Structure 1
């Protein structure tokens, strides 16, 4: 393999080895945040960081992977490629680059989008001391979103229910019902949790430890699963009137979309990672976005999520269908093809380079 392709992996363990080897060879300061659980072969799980640049840097570019577990196949490959290519070799004075690898290592290792608690991490950064956001569309469709079995008849019935809801309320309302998160069905798809989970607490600790001295912070969180194959969107969770949105457009142009205005491929999701950066870095200039890459049609992604959720309510990794469904969900969020890997790496490289230039201008 040549180019970026060689830096992508077929398992979490391989991805972690490649990332740590690349970071070590490039002279990064490496730190490990060990997860309490183990991977499928008993391997250690961790959120690892590699820092390039001074500890007291006033400007920091963070690049994250694996917020949604299985999406780490994409993000980890990009991170390792950038490090190996020397992206962080000549960091401008007063600036640091921080790679945060496998923010949700359990989901990455076990081929799940969610974490060990069935929590979608990108719905978990809400204030759990207050009433949780409501999602009435999800409540209406809960038994269709979470099918009782995976038979063709049941799945067809579920699709018909969701299609009827979309016809009555519009496709955006259907997307919101399905993907905007929910806090009432702990065993259901898109569960946001009832308390900060391990990855939430760990990411907050990393931000406090690594970014406390900075005045200007940018964070690019690499995601996959929404949009046309290989296409990219930079997702802003703030309104178009915000300083963060205006900076993003200045840096990245027309690829930026705000979830608040309804122009994004993503719904306006509560409790996503940008909330965490805003909470922990109050008073600083924070520009935090999701870099979303398309994989397969959304209908296939939906079936994969439904199947994965059903599996883990019916024996999980001991179920005879476990390997089949793990491949289904991996294929929904990771295109194991050379052209796709090169494309997402090229786009990520450009995105991160523009962010770095924007921070230091």
Structure 2
């Protein structure tokens, strides 16, 4: 089988194939069951596959499905790596921990967000403190969250965002659209008001699987930003930090920092990478996102707007549900063999370099 043959057409298929590949690779497997069910009535879960010593001092973690529907990409990569024997010759005193479907609800229901309409990658912050504000989002609220999906309304939305970008710059427009917000539970890019199930579950997994290690690397698989099939490794710390410098030694100029504006991603609060350092105090933690491009950003934006509108207007019962579900899946998952081969190759290389870095 080639790498492309390990990608799946549904969450349930992806879950089965991942668990089968983990079993065949000799991994220790366990699951955290989600309280809700999938569209087929089946169980949802975040599954963990571990290969290597229980007390390994070095751990490479690979995550998928933080942004639900992006799990089609990440799960395929994880399953391909397991099936190809990536973990067959791990360095001494090293373990591989694969965390499958971190946001299983979003993956199963073809949503980027979770069951609470929360963007999980905006949820990892201290919710006892005042939440960050996003003035640009507030100014553009009606454009970002259109009242309907008619051509006229969507054209008006694009015009307002284009005008904002012309006045404030493209980076400011991207920040307004993607940096998250904490005041509108029914809006796009909602970060939540408390730690959601996937946040709490991931923290427990980190403590259980990585708490005994001294050096931990984690790559979270994402899709939707950048040129088709190309990968960027996203660091959420400044270029002056020891973490960024270590990531550059491992991965070279594929690493970009969100803090300095050099990344495809905006500098967003509450990123998943934050919780690794919080849960693994005193250890060397190298956590980043591996982002693969899919389709033009305008198409991604419209898909997110349509998905959010749908789930404020009947969700799966809406007559447009099937079309919008396909629209958002197509924005974050390119169902073509060359793309699947490209993203797997990029991930395979990055993960191999992480193992080398951990052993250096």
Q: Which secondary structure does the structure 2 equivalent of 1:113 belong to?
A: coil
Which residue is 1:103 aligned to? 102
- C-alpha distance in 2 between matches for 1:171 and 1:92: 44
Please tell me whether the aligned partners of residues 217 and 285 of structure 2 are also in contact (alpha carbons under 8 angstroms). Answer: yes
Which residue is 1:22 aligned to? 21
Which residue is 2:195 aligned to? 196
- C-alpha distance in 1 between matches for 2:44 and 2:5: 22
Mapping of residues 160-239 of structure 1, within 5 Å: 160-239=159-238
Which residue is 1:57 aligned to? 56
- C-alpha distance in 2 between matches for 1:18 and 1:286: 30
Which residue is 2:298 aligned to? 299
- C-alpha distance in 2 between matches for 1:316 and 1:103: 22
- Give the unaligned 5+ runs of structure 1: none
Please tell me whether the aligned partners of residues 230 and 346 of structure 2 are also in contact (alpha carbons under 8 angstroms). Answer: no
Q: Which secondary structure does the structure 2 equivalent of 1:205 belong to?
A: helix
Which residue is 1:288 aligned to? 287
- C-alpha distance in 1 between matches for 2:254 and 2:123: 26
- Give the unaligned 5+ runs of structure 2: none
CA-to-aligned-CA distance 1:134-159 (integer Å, 9 cap, x gap): 10000000111000000000000011
Deviation larger for 273-282 or 63-72: 273-282
* 1:5 to partner: Cα distance: 1.0
Mapping of residues 1-361 of structure 1, within 5 Å: 2-361=1-360
- C-alpha distance in 1 between matches for 2:343 and 2:195: 31
| Number of residue-to-residue matches in the alignment | 360
Q: Which secondary structure does the structure 2 equivalent of 1:344 belong to?
A: helix
- C-alpha distance in 2 between matches for 1:276 and 1:154: 39
Q: Which secondary structure does the structure 2 equivalent of 1:168 belong to?
A: helix
- C-alpha distance in 2 between matches for 1:297 and 1:108: 22
* 1:92 to partner: Cα distance: 1.6
Q: Which secondary structure does the structure 1 equivalent of 2:224 belong to?
A: strand
* 1:94 to partner: Cα distance: 1.1
- C-alpha distance in 2 between matches for 1:303 and 1:318: 21
Q: Which secondary structure does the structure 2 equivalent of 1:21 belong to?
A: helix
- C-alpha distance in 2 between matches for 1:100 and 1:295: 23
Q: Which secondary structure does the structure 2 equivalent of 1:233 belong to?
A: strand
Q: Which secondary structure does the structure 2 equivalent of 1:30 belong to?
A: strand
CA-to-aligned-CA distance 1:46-74 (integer Å, 9 cap, x gap): 00000001111111000000000000000
- C-alpha distance in 2 between matches for 1:120 and 1:253: 29
CA-to-aligned-CA distance 1:308-338 (integer Å, 9 cap, x gap): 0000000000001000000000000000000
CA-to-aligned-CA distance 1:239-284 (integer Å, 9 cap, x gap): 1111111111111101110000100000001000111111101111
Q: RMSD between aligned alpha carbons? A: 0.5
* 1:90 to partner: Cα distance: 1.7
- C-alpha distance in 2 between matches for 1:297 and 1:193: 28
Output the TM-score relative to the length of structure 1: 0.99
- C-alpha distance in 1 between matches for 2:245 and 2:337: 34
* 1:346 to partner: Cα distance: 0.3
Q: Which runs of 4+ in 1 moved over 6 A?
A: none
Q: Which secondary structure does the structure 1 equivalent of 2:225 belong to?
A: strand
* 1:214 to partner: Cα distance: 0.5
* 1:231 to partner: Cα distance: 1.2
Q: Which secondary structure does the structure 2 equivalent of 1:196 belong to?
A: coil
* 1:294 to partner: Cα distance: 0.2
- C-alpha distance in 1 between matches for 2:129 and 2:335: 42
